[in-house]
Amino acid sequence: MDRFLFLLVLCVFTINFSLAELPEDRPQGMEKPRVFISTDLGGDDEDDMQTMVRYLIYADMFETEAIVASPPKAGRKEDIVRIINIYEKDYNYLKTWSWYPTPESLRNVTKQGASGTGAPGAGKNTEGSDYLITRAQVDDPRPLWVITWGSLTDVAQAIYDEPTIKSKIRLYSIGSWNTRMDQAARDYIASEHKDELWWIENDVTFRGMYQTGDLSGNYSNTTFVNKLVAPYGNLGAFYKSLKAGVLKEGDSPSMLYILSPLLGFAGDVDDPTAESWGGQFRLTDATNHYQDLTTENASDNSKSKQTVSKWRKEFADHFANRMKWTETTNPDALPDTTTVPDTCYTSDQLDSYDTCDVISVHYKGQNINNNRDLQFFREHFGFMFSKDGKFYDFKGRKTSEE
Ligand SMILES: [Ca+2]
């Protein structure tokens, strides 16, 4: 649906939408996801830094609970702070587009995890592992998404010290090399806690970020960086300095999994077996333990990678658009990608839309009539709106009564 048609369709409805109405009684599931990152950023592999840039560009979508510097190598808290400081240089632009967290608030939740690998044990807790327990124990109905871009050392230690947090966290780990660097931590979780833990263990699917699928033209791992990331903002320039300007981002599927239903209309965070920007997985013999469709060492594991790469156009275009936010406040910088699925707002989904005769989309007392704000609403609320005392999500599904 192009923009004109979309606005035309929008004109049919009465949408009274204001911040004052929304956050307090937002239907369950529409709140920002709580995210706890464990990263070996600054250690051995610059692709964590690429992923951190992408994460910061989407930081308005998350409630960032923590960013922990974890093993296996020499990544430290200071390495994370250094990237947040780059984010700070773009922050004044970014915050005109959406509710981005302040750089200070991100620095405040940056913690140091273990400095070496190994199985968890008594007294081996760190600031990072302790903080995971603290955040998991917060009284909040939302799960705590623990996404790991390095070894599972700190997560294993937290579970060792306080096994009850298992029921509050959802773990999405990027394995493979990270696992081999601390096999003991991973095996501790798998052998002792797998049955009570919700866990996506991604050992090969993540490679779909930079392998398989359409890598032509703007989607090549170098052209994408040069043309669509590097030119924008301090974060773009920093990205270009990493890995010789070649996109890898093997850790990014962990965050794309959470974003996919919100931004891509694909997937269901509750169901890893569904298709998602963050990949598709199979249930193992444990209750909520998911692994790749094919094993890492299978002769052909492209099937796993393709569950990410098939979405490359969608998540690459989306990221490229947002990179522009780093240096402009001009709403026109967001062009026709602000579309909604054709399934939105059809008569069978909204029973009485045609009786509406007034348009008013209000936000913070202002009339919403530009792409920037429409995108904002879509991304934050899934274009949820209320009508006749009922809340609807972006697909026109009734989500709750007022
Ligand atoms: Ca990593």
Q: What is the 3-state secondary structure (H, E, C) of the chain?
A: CCHHHHHHHHCCCCCCCCCCCCHHHCCCCCCCCEEEEEECCCCCCCHHHHHHHHHHHCHHHCEEEEEEECCCCCCCHHHHHHHHHHHHHHHHHHCCCCCCCCHHHHHHCEEECCCCCCCCCCCCCCHHHHHHHHHHCCCCCCCEEEEECCCCHHHHHHHHHCHHHHHCEEEEEECCHHHHHCHHHHHHHHHHHHHHCEEEEECCHHHHHCCCCCCCHHHCCCHHHHHHHCCCHHHHHHHHCCHHHCCCCCCCHHHHHHHHHHHHCCCCCCCCCCCCCCCCEEECCCCCEEEECCCCCCCCCHHHHHHHHCCHHHHHHHHHHHHHHHCCCCHHHCCCCCCCCCCCCCCCCCCCHHHCCCCCCEECCEECCCHHHHHHHHHHHCCCEEECCEEECCCCCEEEEC
pLDDT in the model for residue 31:
64
Give residue-wise pLDDT tens across range 77-121: 999 999 999 999 999 988 877 778 999 999 999 999 999 999 999
pLDDT in the model for residue 100:
85
pLDDT in the model for residue 329:
66
Q: Which has the higher per-residue pLDDT, 281 or 262?
A: 281
pLDDT in the model for residue 376:
52
At residue 203 the predicted structure's pLDDT band, cuts being 50, 70 and 90, is very high
Round to whole Å and give the CA distance between 3 and 315.
Answer: 20
Give residue-wise pLDDT tens across range 143-185: 999 999 999 999 999 999 999 999 999 999 999 999 999 999 9
Which residues, at least 6 apart from 92, have a Cβ–Cβ distance to it below 8 Å?
none
Residue 203 Cα to ligand 1 middle (Å): 12
Give residue-wise pLDDT tens across range 306-326: 999 999 999 999 899 889 889
0.75 exceeded by pTM: yes
Residue 282 Cα to ligand 1 middle (Å): 23
At residue 338 the predicted structure's pLDDT band, cuts being 50, 70 and 90, is very low
Residue 54 Cα to ligand 1 middle (Å): 14
Q: Which has the higher per-residue pLDDT, 374 or 51?
A: 51
Residue 16 Cα to ligand 1 middle (Å): 44
Residue 149 Cα to ligand 1 middle (Å): 4
Residue 238 Cα to ligand 1 middle (Å): 17
Give residue-wise pLDDT tens across range 352-383: 332 222 223 334 334 444 444 445 555 554 44
Residue 40 Cα to ligand 1 middle (Å): 5
Residue 176 Cα to ligand 1 middle (Å): 10
Query: Does the structure show a pLDDT above 90 at 242?
Result: yes
At residue 186 the predicted structure's pLDDT band, cuts being 50, 70 and 90, is very high
pLDDT in the model for residue 261:
81
Residue 56 Cα to ligand 1 middle (Å): 16
Residue 51 Cα to ligand 1 middle (Å): 9
Lowest mean pLDDT among 9-23, 127-141, 274-288: 9-23
pLDDT in the model for residue 363:
40
pLDDT in the model for residue 97:
72
Residue 146 Cα to ligand 1 middle (Å): 14
pLDDT in the model for residue 356:
26
Residues lining ligand 1 (ion), CB within 5 A? 40, 48, 149-150
Residue 41 Cα to ligand 1 middle (Å): 6
pLDDT in the model for residue 328:
75
Residue 251 Cα to ligand 1 middle (Å): 6
Residue 50 Cα to ligand 1 middle (Å): 10
Residue 154 Cα to ligand 1 middle (Å): 14
Query: Does the structure show a pLDDT above 60 at 398?
Result: no
Q: What is the mean pLDDT of the chain?
A: 80
Residue 48 Cα to ligand 1 middle (Å): 5
pLDDT in the model for residue 394:
40
Residue 160 Cα to ligand 1 middle (Å): 23
Query: Does the structure show a pLDDT above 60 at 214?
Result: yes
Which residues, at least 6 apart from 179, have a Cβ–Cβ distance to it below 8 Å?
151, 152, 173, 186, 203
Mean pLDDT score, 244-253: 97
Residue 37 Cα to ligand 1 middle (Å): 11
Query: Does the structure show a pLDDT above 60 at 223?
Result: yes
What domains are there in the chain, each with its CATH number?
Answer: 3-24+335-401 (no CATH), 31-326 (3.90.245.10)
